Amino acid sequence: MSWSAAVNTSNGVRKMAARFLPVTGFVLAVLLTSGSPAHAVTPVDTLVEAWALDELITLDPAEAFELTSGEINGNTYDKLVRLDINDSSRITADIAESWTVSDDGLTYTFKLKQGLKFASGNPLTAEDVAYSFERAIKIDKSPAFILTQFGLKPDNVTEKAKATNPNTFVFTVDQPYAPSFVLNCLTSGVVSVVDKQLISEHIVDNDYGNVWLKTNYAGSGPMKIRDWRANEILVLERNDNYYGTKALLNRVIYRHVKESATQRLLLEKGDIDVARNLEPNDLEQVVKNSDIKTTSAPKGTIYYFSLNQKNPNLAKPEVREALKYLVDYDAIGEKLIKGIGEIHQTFLPKGILGELNENPYSLDVSKAKELLAKAGLKDGFTVTIDVRNGQPITGIAESLQQTFAQGGVKLEIIPGDGKQTLTKYRARAHDIFIGPWGTDYWDPNSNAETFTSNPDNADTGTNKTLAWRNAWDVPELTKATKAALVEFNTEKRTQDYRDLQKKVLATSPFVILFQQIEAAGVRTNTKGYALSSFGPNRVYTVYK
């Protein structure tokens, strides 16, 4: 097999052709070659993005629960339905041709499009959809709660989520919910449709292929995953078996590059087409280059730090409130997140039903000291914070270290990569964790469920929300969250979520800092690249 690409040089355009070695070998050799007399140019059939990929832990849709995996999944797997990225109030069909809801609100029936295939060439049927639900429940990884909240369990999933014929999938929920809520949940990555036939060839000890799918691919989306090397590179290729409009590029390469300055240099040289983690200063500088443009979009992602209630000092209500007054929000907004975020202190991002645009906290050392003294900690205390290496997180942690010290709190920073910090956080082994939370589906319950609900606070609890991760035992808020979920009156439901946010502001172990504005630097010869506010960024519509 061979491929060719036109590469611009100072002497014009020359054709390159080479034997097709494994893509991460040959293409990387092209991309990383230095010493040419002119700027490098990436192949015309390839998009190359620099992005911090160190939080990527698994490729299995039933397990993946990170922001980066959300984008990869959104380009490589199909679902029954998708969120309209141009209108967050609309659900659009994906592999479902149509759907109906029973009069009692319990049964959702989906008719699939005809002639669907996986990238493997295997036919895609309703049986694959049912299997995808089943394995998500039985594997029971972090995102499984999106389905278990509808009453799905290992002993009933095959009856509650089943194929009645090759073209029909039926999903039965445990009680009537607003249909928009159910459909929004079905846009999440955990219900990505996987190739049952392919996975069956890789099952070990009844693991539903989980070990194999951590590093492999079994989907049907517009792109397919060709290769992934942790903390190095991830390669997507066009899936020619995709039912819809085929991807315009042959491949998309994500290069793991964490440092903003390095991303900027690569972008300016032409070694990459897109830089995804530019810090404010570098973002301001790249626009001075006529070969580079920028794009941005507000995201459903908020950044926060949280206080583990297993730590006796952090469990004191006065301490939780004091630390909210030991944050220099203004400095963070002006110096650390300019152009990539805006201060936002409530758990629902702007643009979603029930948003509450209130920012009551500001740096107030005197107030914080009063609260710490009331908690019996007049002389302060020492605490650790787990920090993913990279900006703006590291810079914010260092800012917190300085302002905490003004109140007598010694903050020790424990750096690590994304996998290390997330693994520790998910084990409830942290003191303080700082990081992002991305909305799993565009409904207020997505964030309310994780910030205000903790049905079982035991270490063995299966509903591992952020409240659970921080050992915040809140039975009344959990009850209120559930009530808001089934409220059919939109006005009442909106107010319910605003009330929940006010309670979190006042009493919770969550200190919410800002809402992300995702920004990227893009080479001007790259067309159709746009960041999305309401879903994964699409790369299969990009061309050069």
CA distance 14 to 468: 58
In this prediction, residues 56-63 reach a mean pLDDT of 96
Residue 22, pLDDT > 50, answer no
* Region(s) of the chain under CATH 3.10.105.10: 298-517
User: What band does 104 get if pLDDT is binned at 50, 70 and 90?
Assistant: very high
Residue 14, pLDDT > 60, answer no
In this prediction, residues 40-66 reach a mean pLDDT of 93
Residue 16, pLDDT > 60, answer no
Residue 395, pLDDT > 90, answer yes
What rounded mean pLDDT belongs to the chain?
A: 91
- How is domain 2-57+221-291 classified at the CATH fold level? D-Maltodextrin-Binding Protein; domain 2 (3.40.190)
The pLDDT > 70 percentage for the chain reads 93
Residue 23, pLDDT > 70, answer no
Tell me yes or no: is domain 298-517 CATH 3.10.105.10: yes
Q: In whole angstroms, how far apart are CA 509 and each of 310, 320, 432, 472, 505?
A: 11, 6, 10, 7, 9
In this prediction, residues 57-75 reach a mean pLDDT of 93
pTM of the full structure? 0.75
* pLDDT number for residue 36: 40
CA distance 109 to 102: 8
Per-residue pLDDT reduced to its tens digit, 429-469? 999 999 999 888 888 999 999 999 999 999 999 889 999 99
In this prediction, residues 493-504 reach a mean pLDDT of 96
User: What band does 28 get if pLDDT is binned at 50, 70 and 90?
Assistant: low
Q: Which residue has the higher pLDDT, 59 or 299?
A: 59
* Region(s) of the chain under CATH 3.40.190.10: 2-57+221-291
* pLDDT number for residue 180: 84
* Region(s) of the chain under CATH 3.90.76.10: 78-211
Q: Which residue has the higher pLDDT, 5 or 502?
A: 502
CA distance 500 to 483: 11
In this prediction, residues 490-519 reach a mean pLDDT of 95
DSSP secondary structure string for all residues of 4-64 = EEEEEETTEEEEEEEE---HHHHHHHHHH----SS-----TTEEEEEE--TT-----TTT-
User: What band does 385 get if pLDDT is binned at 50, 70 and 90?
Assistant: very high
User: What band does 39 get if pLDDT is binned at 50, 70 and 90?
Assistant: low
* pLDDT number for residue 400: 98
Per-residue pLDDT reduced to its tens digit, 146-159? 999 999 999 999 99
* pLDDT number for residue 367: 98
In this prediction, residues 254-264 reach a mean pLDDT of 96
Locus of tokens 């997140």: 337
User: What band does 426 get if pLDDT is binned at 50, 70 and 90?
Assistant: very high
- Which of 51, 69, 75 minimizes the C-alpha distance to 267? 51
* pLDDT number for residue 17: 31
Look at the alpha carbons of 450, 452, 454, 457 in this order and tell me if their dihedral is positive or negative. Answer: positive
- Phi then psi dihedrals of residue 144, to 5 deg: -60, -25
Per-residue pLDDT reduced to its tens digit, 264-299? 999 999 999 999 999 999 999 998 999 999 999 988
Q: Phi-psi bin for 378: left (phi > 0), alpha (psi -120 to 50), beta?
A: alpha
- Which of 83, 86, 80, 82 minimizes the C-alpha distance to 99? 80
- Tally of CA atoms within 13 A in the half-sphere of 256 that contains its CB: 16
* pLDDT number for residue 532: 85
In this prediction, residues 380-397 reach a mean pLDDT of 95
* pLDDT number for residue 439: 87
Residue 18, pLDDT > 50, answer no
> What CATH superfamily is the domain 78-211?
Dipeptide-binding Protein; Domain 1 (3.90.76.10)
Contact 31, 42 (CB under 8 A): yes
